[in-house]
Amino acid sequence: MRQAITELAIATPGQGLHEITDPVERWVADSAIETGLLTLFVRHTSASLLIQENAAPAARRDVERYFAKIAPESAGYEHDDEGPDDMPAHLRAALTATSLSIPVAGGRTVLGTWQGIYLFEHRRVGHRRRVAAHLIGG
């Protein structure tokens, strides 16, 4: 049994779902761990992780519109130090995932056919996001 740990740097172009399945799978393959457990952890409170439909861009746009509606910019938040998209970003992060754990088999994650891993950027402006990745197995 052994482990690998790294940090993936992801430059987001702005608000929305940005697929990171490829760099994640590449790192898993490079680790040469055949069977194990992958954990991703986003080191921010205004971005989050989401497993979503990887085939239909319309589904991703619906997801983005949905979170914009249930945690809107115009709700009179007390905290707005960094602008109107600051507090909604924290709320959308709270409603989705900060960490995700995915079993690994045959040297790759067991993601289903229609699943992709997405970094959900909640700020309007693109950011350089850091996602910690840990893999344990053999």
| Least Å from the CB of residue 1 to a copy of itself | 5
Name the β-bridge partners of 105. 108
- Within 79-118, which residues bind a copy of itself (CB under 8 A)? 79, 81, 87, 90-91, 93-103, 105, 110-112, 114-115
38 burial via Cβ count (<10 Å: 0-12, 13-18, 19+):
buried
Question: Which of 44, 121, 122, 123 touches a copy of itself (CB under 8 A)?
Answer: 44
Indicate the residue type of 12: T
Which of 124, 114, 87 lies closest to 19 in space, CA to CA? 114
Helix axes 57-70, 86-95, angle to 10 degrees: 120
What residues make contact with a copy of itself under the rule CB under 8 A?
1-3, 5, 7, 35-37, 39, 41, 43-45, 50-53, 56, 58-59, 61-63, 66-67, 70-71, 75, 77-79, 81, 87, 90-91, 93-103, 105, 110-112, 114-115, 130, 132-134, 136-138
